[in-house]
Chain A
C-alpha cells in the first residue's frame, strides 16, 4: 500500500513536471498571442467605436458609438470598394479554380511535367509587387506589349489600367496569371490520389471521358476544391499589393478594394476608428463566406474539413 501511494505521488509529480515543461515550451507563443492577437483584436474592436487619429492617446479619443460603421455605408467610396472586392474575389477565385483544374488535368501524364509545372509556378514565388510592376509596364497603352500583341490579332489598343471600364478586369487577369501555380500543384496532388482502378472500372462499363470526369474526378476532388475555394477567397478578399501597384492611375471608385480603403483611411487620412470599423466588416464578411462555403460542401457530402 505504501508503494502504491509512492507510485501515485511519483505519477502526479511527473504529470506536474510535464505541465510545467509544456507551458515553458509554449510561453513565447502564449506571450505573442496575448499581445499581438488577443490585445490586438480587442483594441481593434474598441477603436472602431472611437474617433482616433493616432496623435493622441487612444484613451483620450472620443467615443462615437456606431458612427464609424454607419458612416462607412454612406461613403460611396467604401461601397464601391466593397463592390470591387466582391467582383475581384469571386472572379479571381473561380477563374483560378477552373483554369488550374484544366491545366492540372492536362499536365497529368504529360512529358516533362516538372518543367511545365515550374513555368506555371514561377509567378507564385515572384513578389506580388514585382508582378504588379511588370504587368504595369506590359499594359502601358503605347509602349506595352499587351496592346502590341493584341494589335497583331486586330484588337484595338486600350488604356488598360487607366480606363475605369477595364482597369479592374486587367488586374484580375494578372491575379489569375500570378495565382494559378499553387492551385495547379494542389490539384496535381489531388488527381494523383485518385486510384487508377476507378477509371479502369468505368472504362469497362463503357463510360466516356467526360462522364468519368463528372462521375469520378470531380466528386473525389471535392475536398481539394473546397480547400482552394476557402483559401482562395480568404486571400482574394484581402488583396492589396497588386491593386496598390496597378490601380494607382485609375479612378479610385473603379479599382479600389477594401484593403486599400483600410490602408488609406488609417495611414493616409489617420482615421483609425473608421479604418478599424472597415477591418471588422472585412473580418465578418470573410468569416461568413468561409462558413457558407463549408455549409454548401457539407450538404454535398463532405463530413468535415480538416
Chain B
C-alpha cells in the first residue's frame, strides 16, 4: 500500500512539474513563433499560434528598420567594460580583505557589505549629477563608471580567496615575490572559478540593465542599449507599424544571455545559489 501511495505522489509530482513547466515555456514559444509571422498574422484576431510561412527575413529587416546594430554594439561595449572593471576591482579588494593585514580592515569590510543595503534608487539623482559634473553624459563612461565596483563581487572573491592555502603565499614570499607578483601569479590563476561566476553574473546583469541606460540615453540617444531601444519601440505600440519586427529584436536580445548561460551554466548557478540574485 505504501508503494502504491509512493507511485501516486510520484504522478502528482510530475503533473505539478510539467503543468507549471508548460506555463513557463509557452511565452517563449509564442515569442519565437510570433517573431516569424507576417504583420497580418501577428495582429489577427483570434491570435495565431504558428505562422503559415516562417518569415525569416524579419531577423534581417529589424536591422534596417531601427539602428539595431548600434544598440547591440552599445550593449556589448558597456557590458564587457563593466565586467572587466568589476573583475579587476573585486579581485584586488577580495585579495586585500582575504589575505592582507592592515589598519581598519574589519571596519572597511563591514562598510563594504553595508553598501549593499542601499536601494539603487537612492543613487539615481546623485550619480546623474556626478556624471554630468564629470562631463561624461555623452560618452560610455556614464554607463560604465557607476558600476565599476561591486560590493557583492568583493565579498564573493574574498570568500573564495580565503580558501587558498597560506603556504602557497608564504613560499612565494620567501622566494622574494612582491605583493603584485603574488596577486598576478598565484591569486588570479587560482581564483578563476570565482572570477567566471562573477563575470557571468555581471555580464548578464549589465546586458539586461534598463533603468540607468534609460535615463542616460534620453540625453544621448546614440548610446541607446538594446533593452532601452526595444522598450521605446514597444511602448510606441500604436504608432509603430512593424510590431512583429520588435519581436525578432527581442529574440536577438535574449540569445546572447541564453547562450552565455548554457555555456557557463555551472558558474552561473553557483553564483545564484550564493547570492540569490539573478543579476547585480
Contact = CB atoms under 8 A, between A and B. Distances in A.
A282 B124 CA distance: 13
A240 B47 CA distance: 29
A122 B262 CA distance: 10
A29 interface: yes
A161 to B, nearest CB: 11
Contacts of B23: 177
Q: How large is the interface on A (under 10, 10 to 19, 20 to 34, 35 or more residues)?
A: 35 or more
B119 A283 contact: yes
Given A26-B96, A33-B111, A125 B278 contact: yes
A269 interface: no
Given A119-B25, A129-B230, A185-B272, A145 B124 contact: no
Nearest to A242: B210
A39 B154 contact: no
Interface residues of B, number: 89
A263 B124 contact: yes
Contact of B230 (A126, A133, A189): A133
A267 B115 contact: no
A88 B217 CA distance: 28
B191 interface: no
Interface stretch (A65-73, A101-109, A295-303): A101-109
A160 B52 CA distance: 28
B121 A145 contact: no
A184 B247 CA distance: 28
Given A103-B16, A186-B276, A127 B254 contact: yes
Contacts of B227: 127, 129-130
Interface in B202-250: 204, 207-208, 210-211, 215, 218, 227-228, 230-231, 234-235, 246-247, 250
B261 interface: yes
A40 B130 contact: yes
7 contacts: A19-B102, A29-B149, A29-B154, A40-B122, A102-B16, A135-B27, A240-B210
